[in-house]
Every structure is written in C-alpha cells, then in structure tokens.
Amino acid sequence: MRWTPGKRDWVFLMAVAAVVLFVSLLPTPRERNPMIPANEPHRTLTAETHCSQCHALQGNQPLSSRHPKRQDCFKCHRRADVL
Ligand code: HEC
Ligand code: HEC
C-alpha cells in the first residue's frame, strides 16, 4: 500500500511550518548576549542614551565594529543584577 498525504497530514505540516517560522522571528535571546555588569558605572544607569558616553566609538570602552548599530541596548543586554 502506497502512502499518500491526506488532509490531516497537510494540516500537521502547516502547523509545523508555522511554529518554525514563529520561532525564527523571535528577538535575539538576551540570555546568550553579554550581560551588563553589575558594577558601579552600570548600576546607576537607567537610560539607554547614557551608554554611548563610554561605549561610543570615541568613548573609553568602544564597541567592536561587528556590534549591531542599534540604540535599544536593553533589548539584547540584560542587567546582571536584575532578574
Ligand atoms: C561610565 C562608563 C560606562 C557607561 C556609561 C556604560 N558602560 Fe558598559 N562598560 C564600561 C566598561 C569600562 C566596561 C568593561 C569593564 C566592565 O566589565 O565593567 C563595560 C562593559 C559592558 C558590557 C559587558 C561587555 C562584555 O564583554 O562582557 C556590557 C554588555 C555593557 N558594558 C553595556 C552597557 C550598557 C547597555 C550601558 C548603558 C545602560 C553601558 N554599558 C554604559 C563602561 C561604561
Ligand atoms: C541586536 C542586539 C544588540 C543590541 C541592540 C545591542 N547589543 Fe551589545 N552586543 C550584542 C551581541 C550579540 C554582543 C556580542 C558580540 C560579539 O561577541 O562579538 C554584544 C556585545 C556588546 C559589548 C561587548 C563588547 C563588544 O563590542 O563586543 C558591549 C560593551 C555592548 N554590547 C554594549 C551595547 C550597548 C551600549 C548597546 C546600546 C547602544 C548595545 N550593546 C546594543 C547585541 C546587541
């Protein structure tokens, strides 16, 4: 007997494809990126606009040239002291 995909098989395949697409569109998992250290300069910071004081290209702790050129730091970097 030869197996031919029925209606229920297609429904299942579409569901799998939808799940794969959904997962691939999730934002960068922050847990895998370097955390914001829980030290003195970082603990007092609350606004992303202040990060560039040190992490701009001209700052004392510049980002690498491969680093994403985005300003929403907290989307990808979790604070080590805040769970
Ligand atoms: C007063 C200067 C200063 C400011 C402002 C600052 N940083 Fe930093 N940052 C540093 C220094 C110096 C280091 C490296 C030494 C260390 O671990 O503390 C560092 C390290 C980091 C690291 C870890 C890098 C690694 O390799 O693990 C992350 C992530 C980071 N900063 C994110 C931020 C974010 C996000 C902000 C804004 C909320 C910010 N920093 C603001 C000075 C600063
Ligand atoms: C799209 C996600 C994303 C955003 C937004 C983001 N980062 Fe990062 N950041 C990363 C990743 C991933 C790494 C690790 C890069 C590597 O290992 O080469 C990293 C690394 C770092 C490091 C370690 C040094 C380096 O250059 O590798 C610092 C410091 C840092 N980020 C600060 C910041 C600051 C400040 C902002 C906001 C202006 C920011 N990040 C926004 C994803 C992001």
The 10s digit of each residue's pLDDT in 48-68 is 888 988 998 788 899 988 999
What does residue 57 show for φ and ψ, rounded to 5 degrees?
-60, -30
Instruction: Give a yes or no: residue 2 inside a domain.
Output: no
**Range of the structural domain that residue 46 is part of:** 7-76
Q: Is the pTM of this model over 0.75?
A: yes
Say how far apart CA 42 and CA 45 lie, in whole Å.
5
Nearest-CA residue for ligand 1 atom 12 is 61
Say how far apart CA 34 and CA 76 lie, in whole Å.
9
Is 28's C-beta closer than 6 angstroms to any atom of ligand 2? yes
For a ligand 1 pocket test, name from 31, 35, 54, 70 the mutation site with the most ligand atoms within 8 angstroms of its C-beta: 54
Instruction: Give a yes or no: residue 1 inside a domain.
Output: no
Nearest-CA residue for ligand 2 atom 29 is 63
DSSP 22-75: HHHTSPP-GGGSPPBP-SHHHHT---GGGTHHHHSTTSSSPPPTTS---S-HHH
User: What is the count of structural domains for the chain?
Assistant: 1
Nearest-CA residue for ligand 1 atom 25 is 34
Mean pLDDT (the chain, rounded): 86
Output the tens digit of pLDDT for each of the chain's 83 residues. 788 889 999 999 999 999 999 887 776 667 788 889 988 889 888 888 889 889 987 888 999 889 998 888 988 898 887 65
Instruction: Give a yes or no: residue 83 inside a domain.
Output: no
What does residue 4 show for φ and ψ, rounded to 5 degrees?
-120, 135
